[in-house]
Chain A
């Protein structure tokens, strides 16, 4: 990064300079420097030099403090920090918003506006590879504008301490070619095909629908993450577990073992086969089963 290299090189040069002055100072015998000369050195080294360097630095860095420009038609993604996951809503003006969780997709080369907030505690939204961080503060909506310039997968994390599982609150960002993104968003607007079966029944019978939404079923609660497209996500439980049947089943049976402080109750009495069935059903949308 341009700014970082300038700062690092500048700091290194100045540190070496101070060291050099110090070495000269302790090696110079007494009497070589009189009061007037000494005060002149203090003036130049201590006052004038830093003033000039810092003023230049400030003037040079000021333009970078401006947020990226954006327009009303740009893709907006609302992100709400929760203990300890991410609630997402995509708005591109071409239809109803798309709700998702814990994995962000952005189109390469287009400006994306993140409107970030929180309801429970303060979190901070940070994708180190794409831009600076922005705090998510209850009662406020902060705006972060980013533009990915090449396709790829970035890791995002919560950067503000938010409780027991602060360290386990991450997400993936997938920067996609614009056409692929548009196709994905259009399909996410629809209802994925999903095999009915024991998993669906167990999901209902265990009351999972009291907290989670699965589009195309009667379950529309908004307390926990939307599970409609769980199968396509690259990780489980906000970057904590691999996206496998086994880990999904294990997480269902005891969420706080993997994520201390998570709100989801433990279903330790549930047989492992049942949990696996639920997991299989959740991951089965659009032929992604078995991943």
Chain B
């Protein structure tokens, strides 16, 4: 096929017909929900997250009504505690983070000129998990069973089963399930950015939104796992009475606070940076010029992400820390303002240098900047520890965080909504309603939250269902309540605007005259993403590259056809985006939804102590995952290569570090290793807390022999797996199968050796935090050995079924990545629990 072929309109029409057929969404009342394409899944995701935002907003209105006057009794204290716990948890876990992922699922393929993300079924799985977990957690309030320990869930209030009910389990297990889906989406987005860029889009030509996605997804990868580790310890204490946070048995409530805030602070930037990313897309459009200082903003984003992991302790300034920690974390908390300031001034200076075109999205951006700057400055105030000792846990902090989140998340999202609505639906929203809503939101937010600075400084603590009249806080609180209803009316106007949208006429293509790739989308959008995958030479190709839109539309770039009737996209190299392969993408399927249901069953059934049913559900999950892998991944193509235009011919099968699957495995294991390090942190944290660790009478448990045996077996599993990969690549299929079989035996033996240490030395995990943390580490590692055995068995089966050959060997290569991490986990676990007691 040469370029001239594309001159033939008949050929183009035939190509379009084939593409349309391949990307046709499934129809029908039930079948449509099997869709996996980002255009559909992304929209469901956004709408669901938006729905949870409205729900959490209503909860806030009830709280504000209760607090409108002193000594009110509209709701009981128990209900009020459920309201504020759920408001915070839903806004964070079911709105802010998922909304970022949802918007990214819609936008990322468009921004990268890709047909879809590399793992469409994973996106669908993430969505269904999110929906199920979200309904489970938020529905609990209708049964008066919602979590009531605050979104931070500090033990022992929440771990003592006599002080907290089912709500605590619903929070832990329901949100752990959501966290799993968040990590799944993060993996998808990272691999999407790294491997699915169009040819020529080197890292330094990437749209800034993609940079921010990369940064934020990496943050999710390192921030959520410590919380998942905390969740594990938490539920072990609640369900099995293992005393991690019980001071009377060697535990420490502060361990939870550390694990929670190691997650909780980066979380703030996880929900803030994506909004900055939306600014980075719309500011150049309305300044009619390139963003000034591209490298600066990328470095500032990376710097913010990096620093955000070093300042969690500022949430713990009042826990009695040593002076040196106060000084260090105060300094780090102030330092994070610097990269933030760089990002803000990059936008302002871009507007300065360019020609400002006023529009509704820019109005929202301006308003959110104003609100965010106030929130940022009060943030610097609370970073000063002596000030924080007064302001901490008062309404001053409530004011601060809402200024940050309204200015840094909510209003930018509305800016993005008005900006990108035409991209998704082909129709513009009303400027008049948009401006009305803006002013309601802006005035409401300031009226609601500014007085809270004052009520906080006057001594009003957070999380109180009432306050005495004598304190004279009635006026300020009434103002806040009125403000909250004005915010609500602004949101209602936006909802009205959205509801009217279907009756509006189609807008022009690229209605804002933007320069970035996503605006290739036509108002009557096709499901296929882009007509042909372009060659990128600029950060603003629509502005800078000659005849760009026409060439894309006429299929003059790459992969303009779907000859084999398969959904495909191009994979490129990580740094310089050289085309590497064409991959076949997952088509609509029931598997993602069913797997999400089964996995959700494990978490939900455990909440209600239906352990046997939960076990059945976990076997169902395993079966579904294996089926999904077997039928849906690493398929051997019907031909080795295919032409994609311009004389380029790309392979249809890749394995190892060139392949998206390998990257997904690697990235997932980074998250896994981070969760594991949270547990290891627990072990050494307990050591620093006790003079005598291991405690008197447990000095010799779990002994040296069994941990060292387990360590040797873990390393041997790894050696056998690596050897199998090497032998297999050189054609020694039978020897490789033998080695894999040997690795399975070694991994299974590793399970028993790992558990034998604590078991045979009679360690009672309910007695003290020491045996409890040893058991957790041994269990974690043994479960990982068990998963290794299952994976290796899968590899063996694929080989025996003829689906894995020396040329098509993605399975063994991906499992080897897992084996690397297994070996690391085994070495750290067994050196810690075996050797550390000898030297401590």
Contact = CB atoms under 8 A, between A and B. Distances in A.
Interface string A54-87: 1001100110111100000000000000010000
Given A19-B370, A65-B326, A126 B354 contact: no
Contacts of B338: 46-47, 50-51, 54
A190 to B, nearest CB: 33
Interface stretch (B232-240, B388-396, B824-832): B388-396
| Interface core residue of B157, B254, B457, B463 (most chain A CB under 10 Å) | B157
25 contacts: A3-B386, A25-B349, A30-B289, A33-B353, A37-B353, A38-B293, A41-B352, A45-B348, A46-B345, A47-B341, A54-B334, A62-B327, A64-B386, A121-B160, A122-B156, A128-B390, A128-B458, A133-B389, A140-B254, A142-B319, A143-B320, A155-B459, A155-B471, A157-B459, A167-B467
Given A33-B352, A142-B319, 4 more contacts: A42-B342, A42-B345, A54-B337, A83-B163
B252 A22 contact: no
B365 to A, nearest CB: 11
B743 to A, nearest CB: 44
B352 A38 contact: yes
Contacts of A67: 323
Interface in A81-135: 83, 120-122, 124, 126, 128, 131-135
B577 interface: no
Contacts of A124: 318, 393
Interface in A1-36: 1, 3-4, 7-8, 11, 14-15, 18-19, 21-22, 24-26, 28-30, 32-35
B361 to A, nearest CB: 14
B834 to A, nearest CB: 28
Interface stretch (B39-47, B75-83, B659-667, B675-683): B75-83
Given A26-B356, A135-B320, A139-B247, A3 B387 contact: yes
B323 A135 contact: no
A65 B323 contact: yes
Nearest to A141: B320
Contacts of B354: 30
B77 A4 contact: no
B433 interface: no
A39 interface: yes
A109 B296 CA distance: 54
Scoring A14, A26, A46 by chain B CB atoms within 10 A of each residue's CB, the highest score goes to: A46
B78 A164 contact: yes
Interface string B326-353: 1100110011011001111110111111
Interface of B: 76-78, 81, 149-150, 154, 156-157, 160, 163, 247-248, 251-254, 288-289, 292-293, 296, 318-320, 323, 326-327, 330-331, 334-335, 337-338, 341-346, 348-356, 366, 369-370, 373-374, 377-378, 380-381, 384-390, 392-394, 457-459, 461-467, 471
Given A133-B389, A165-B77, A167-B464, A138 B381 contact: no
A4 B337 contact: no
Contacts, number: 227
Contacts of A160: 154, 393
Interface residues of A, number: 75
Contacts of B323: 65-67
A131 B157 contact: no
B349 A42 contact: yes
Nearest to A123: B157
A21 B348 contact: yes
B154 A28 contact: no
B293 A42 contact: yes
A159 B320 contact: no
A174 interface: no
B350 to A, nearest CB: 8
A289 B296 CA distance: 73
Contact of A57 (B343, B380, B463): B380
A3 to B, nearest CB: 6
Contacts of B157: 121-122, 161-163
Nearest to B251: A139
A39 B384 contact: no
Interface in A137-179: 137-140, 142-143, 155, 157-168
Most buried by A among B160, B292, B461: B461
Contact of A65 (B334, B386, B464): B386
Contact of A42 (B296, B370, B374, B377): B296
A159 B393 contact: yes
A197 interface: no
A57 B345 CA distance: 21
B320 A4 contact: no
Contacts of B335: 54
Contacts of B251: 139
A287 interface: no
A260 interface: yes
A191 B81 CA distance: 42
Contacts of A64: 385-386
A65 B330 contact: yes
A120 B156 contact: yes
Contact of B373 (A18, A49, A128, A166): A18
